[in-house]
Amino acid sequence: MGNWVVNHWFSVLFLATWLGLNVFLFVHAFLSYEKADKYYYTREILGSALAWARASARCLNFNSMLILLPVCRNLLSFLRGTCSFCRRTLRKQLDHNLTFHKLVAYMICLHTAIHIIAHLFNFEHYSRSRQATDGSLASILSTLSHQEKGEGSWLNPIQSPNMTVEYVTFTSIAGLTGVIITIALVLMVTSAMEFIRRSYFEVFWYTHHIFIIYFIGLGIHGTGGIVRGQTEESLNESHPHRCAESFKHWDDHDSHCKHPRFEGLPAESWKWILAPGVLYIFERILRFYRSQQKVVITKVVMHPSKVLELQMNKRGFSMEVGQYIFVNCPSISYLEWHPFTLTSAPEEDFFSIHIRAAGDWTENLIRAFERQQSQIPRIEVDGPFGTVSEDVFQYEVAVLVGAGIGVTPFASILKSIWYKFQRADHNLKTQTIYFYWICRETGAFAWFNDLLASLEREMEELGKVDFLNYRLFLTGWDSNIAGHAALNFDKATDILTGLKQKTSFGRPMWDNEFSTIANAHPRSVVGVFLCGPQTLAKSLSKRCHQYSSLDPRKVQFYFNKENF
Amino acid sequence: MGQIEWAMWANEQALASGLILIMGGIVATAGQFTKWYFGVYSIGAGVFVCLLEYPRGKRRKGSTMERCGQKYMTKVLKVFGPLTRNYYIRAFLHLGLSVPAGFLLATILGTACLAIASSIYLLAAVRGEQWIPIEPKPKERPQVGATIKHPPSNPPPRPPAEARKKPSEEEAAGAVGVSGGPQENPVPVIDEVV
């Protein structure tokens, strides 16, 4: 428990602040509409539903403002860069931007539901009081529009008893925009479900751009002035506390109280969403500008199992380890940008990505390069964007775990560590690395295999054999492979990979690994970096808490997960 | 966008629409709005749509994540055969179901969302997609009883002669109790008859 608090205190604080602000805004707006004299007559017809609708509207404005900020990745990268002197825990929060984006989205959905339900009741109450013939205050108020000609000092938007609520909804600005933006929200949410997003990324990517409709609609939504409150003048003249009871006598000439006059609430959504909207537009322009810079492809390598390596150059491009870029190929698709982790080290004079055939776009790309035409397809690149891996050199002991395709960022890290080591770079605090590579079969990662083999050779030459300790775990083994391995037990190199380190079968026993590392480095800060599935993240995170000593001077495990 | 299975998205959209229909229906019925009987219909239609859409179909390529507890509804849906498999039928069914809910403001959002789901299903049907149930994998039960009764008819497998010359650990571990062969026991082994 203590370790969890140490590792997560900032997240908890941030979320608590966000929730606190939501609650505050909700309660503040609720009380203001429930108690204010300005809305006395409005409440007469609508009851508490007015306050519920307005309070949820305030929260909707707040969250709509927040939701654009976590997806401004250039802005976030900039913040990360300027924060290089910041504490580790603060910078890690910027990596949880997508998690925050989703949380805010869920909050928007919740408040949308409250807002719509409250307004359904509001419309129903308006409709009933318009049709009421009992001469109650509510019905008098509803007929006000007939009294004042051309002034628009009405309260009830339903102008005649025959008008249905459906008609009013679709002929008022608020109603129509409300329906449109809610449909947009529903479409965005259903296409962003994890299953759809991971399996059919293009559906998610294109549909999610409906947010433009959402924001424009939200800005227009309040301009109709359908929420009415008594004017200042009218309040001074005939205050509801004095005049509400004598509503039957409003028509009399000698009455102190006159008919109350109403005005619509001005739109306030635009005030909330203008700044983030501008920031986001700026972000997109920046992305476009960066993508227009020329990318020169210096080398194309086709690896076994349909893996394409592209080595490229771009003016002004500088990267850190484990960062990723977005790649677009106009000849395949103008609008699609796909993320790829960089597999080259910053010390190299080019940057590279390894692309595996995993869907429509990637297969088309690989095919386009396989054709070996004289004119290779043009590539546009946006990035690089930062991830947690930049911290890897700050830890004395680094435990790197790559599962399946998650091994890719570690190519960059290992290469960079190698270069830094060669040049005796002072920034490299790392003394020992434990690298765990877990995959079903090594086919698609033969290129990574070669990297490990060359690193192994170089370490041997330098005589620093214990700097890099790596273990490969094959989870897709069968009795044939195991039997074959058992047979060749005595050979110096592993029969499957050709590496000195023998391949293990099955999954690593993390308890053993962690306790061995904790015993070998009793006073170090150990950084654990994972790029892999969520279940593994939970397992490693748990072990990190378990094996970290409560004494801050003894061994501490910090868990960092990279997500795509 | 060639590999996209629209039916998967249509399924999520329809499930969401079902929930929206149920919510709108409850609000209208509980609040006793005018024409609240449409609300009752909406709740019924919503529940039906949710049940129909809950079991996720199998993807053509790759593995499919099942929804929690969907195997019961999968069985029910399989009974109807082509009625549930064919997406044209689903598209028109959803379109039909959505129309009555359009007469009440509280449920009109459900109508719009279900109509959109219906059009995505139509697109899926035009592209030849079908609903395929996710079958539970047959569990391989270890046949405990069978092996005990019959003694092994073949001798235990031995590695080829060349490997046998090296005293490897596997052989040492497996050699206890096996008589003869190249193993030389450092301590005389006495068989105790039990």
Give the neighbor-by-neighbor strand order of the sheet with A338-341.
A338-341, A324-328, A380-385
From the list B4, B33, B104, which residue is nearest A200 (CB)?
B4
Q: Is residue B12 assigned to a domain?
A: yes
CA-wise closest residue to A26 among A59, A49, A61: A59
Res B11 pLDDT > 60:
yes
Q: A443: Cβ–Cβ under 8 A, 6 or more apart, which residues?
A: A304, A305
pLDDT in tens, B114-123: 999 999 999 9
CA-wise closest residue to B132 among B2, B1, B5: B5
Which chain B residues are closer than 8 Å to A202 by Cβ? 1, 4
Do strands A324-328 and A380-385 pair parallel, antiparallel, or not at all (unpaired)? antiparallel
Range of the domain at B49: 6-58+67-127
Res B96 pLDDT > 60:
yes
From the list A193, A199, A489, which residue is nearest B62 (CB)?
A199
Query: d(Cα A70, Cα B99) in Å, to the nearest integer?
Result: 39
Q: Is residue B21 assigned to a domain?
A: yes
Using the beta-carbon criterion (under 8 Å), do A490 and B168 form an inter-chain contact?
Answer: yes
A210 part of contact set with chain B, CB < 8 Å: no
Strand partners, A403: A438
In A276-388, DSSP assigns E strands to 295-303, 307-314, 324-328, 338-341, 351-356, 380-385
Q: Is residue B141 assigned to a domain?
A: no
Number of structural domains (chain B) is 1
pLDDT of residue A318: 83
pLDDT of residue A471: 83
pLDDT of residue A304: 77
Query: Mean pLDDT across chain B, nearest whole number?
Result: 80
Using the beta-carbon criterion (under 8 Å), do B2 and A360 form an inter-chain contact?
Answer: yes
Q: Is residue B135 assigned to a domain?
A: no
Using the beta-carbon criterion (under 8 Å), do A116 and B109 form an inter-chain contact?
Answer: yes
Q: Which tokens is B177 given?
A: 């109790």
pLDDT of residue B108: 92
Query: d(Cα A484, Cα A475) in Å, to the nearest integer?
Result: 16
pLDDT of residue A180: 96
From the list B16, B24, B105, which residue is nearest A123 (CB)?
B105
Query: d(Cα B68, Cα B172) in Å, to the nearest integer?
Result: 49
pLDDT of residue A468: 81
Q: DSSP secondary-structure letter at B177?
A: T
Say if CB A430 and CB A396 are below 8 A apart: yes
From the list A169, A190, A490, which residue is nearest B13 (CB)?
A190
Say if CB A444 and CB A404 are below 8 A apart: no
Q: Is residue B140 assigned to a domain?
A: no
Q: Which tokens is B74 given?
A: 């999968």
C-beta atoms surrounding B161 within 10 Å:
8
A193 part of contact set with chain B, CB < 8 Å: yes
Q: Is residue B171 assigned to a domain?
A: no
Helix (H, G, I), strand (E, B) or coil at A160: coil
Using the beta-carbon criterion (under 8 Å), do A183 and B112 form an inter-chain contact?
Answer: yes
A405 part of contact set with chain B, CB < 8 Å: no
Q: Is residue B164 assigned to a domain?
A: no
Question: Angle at which helices B6-30 and B87-101 pack, to 10 degrees?
Answer: 20
Single-letter code of the amino acid located at B175: A
Helix (H, G, I), strand (E, B) or coil at A438: strand
Taken in order of first residue, the domains within chain A and their CATH numbers are: 18-172+224-245+259-286 (no CATH), 293-385 (2.40.30.10), 389-479+496-535+542-561 (3.40.50.80)
Say if CB A227 and CB A268 are below 8 A apart: no
How close, in Å, is residue B189 to chain A by CA atoms? 27
Residue of higher predicted confidence among B148 and A286: A286
C-beta atoms surrounding A461 within 10 Å:
8
From first to last of its 564 residues, what are the pLDDT tens digits of chain A? 555 666 567 788 889 999 999 999 999 999 999 999 889 888 888 989 999 999 999 999 999 999 999 888 878 777 766 665 555 555 555 557 888 999 999 999 999 999 999 999 999 999 888 888 887 887 878 777 655 555 567 888 888 888 888 888 999 999 999 999 999 999 999 999 888 887 777 788 889 999 999 999 999 999 988 888 888 888 888 888 888 887 777 777 777 777 788 888 888 999 999 999 999 999 999 888 877 888 999 999 888 778 889 999 988 888 888 788 889 898 888 777 888 888 998 888 899 999 888 777 888 899 888 887 778 888 888 878 765 566 777 888 888 888 877 788 888 888 887 788 778 776 677 888 888 888 877 676 778 878 888 887 887 787 777 788 888 888 876 677 777 777 777 766 666 666 666 677 778 888 888 888 888 888 888 888 888 888 888 888 888 888 887 777 788 888 876 543
Strand partners, B50: none
From the list B1, B17, B34, which residue is nearest A360 (CB)?
B1
Strand partners, A430: none
B8 part of contact set with chain A, CB < 8 Å: yes
How close, in Å, is residue B113 to chain A by CA atoms? 7
Q: Indicate the helix (H) or strand (E) that contains A489.
A: none
Burial of B187 (0-12, 13-18, 19+ CB in 10 A): exposed
Q: Is residue B147 assigned to a domain?
A: no
C-beta atoms surrounding A241 within 10 Å:
8
Which chain B residues are closer than 8 Å to A199 by Cβ? 5, 8, 59, 62
Which chain B residues are closer than 8 Å to A180 by Cβ? none
Q: How confident is the model at residue B169 (pLDDT cuts 50, 70, 90)?
A: very low
Of A146-155, B16-25, B110-119, B129-138, minimum mean pLDDT range: A146-155
Single-letter code of the amino acid located at A159: Q
Q: Which tokens is A116 given?
A: 């719509």
Distance of CA A49 to the CA centre of its chain: 33
Which chain A residues are closer than 8 Å to B105 by Cβ? 120, 123, 165-166, 169
Query: d(Cα A543, Cα A548) in Å, to the nearest integer?
Result: 8
| pTM tops 0.80, yes or no | no
Angle, CA of A477, A483 and A484, to the nearest 5°: 90
Say if CB A111 and CB B18 are below 8 A apart: no
Go through chain A and tell me how many residues it has. 564
pLDDT of residue B1: 47
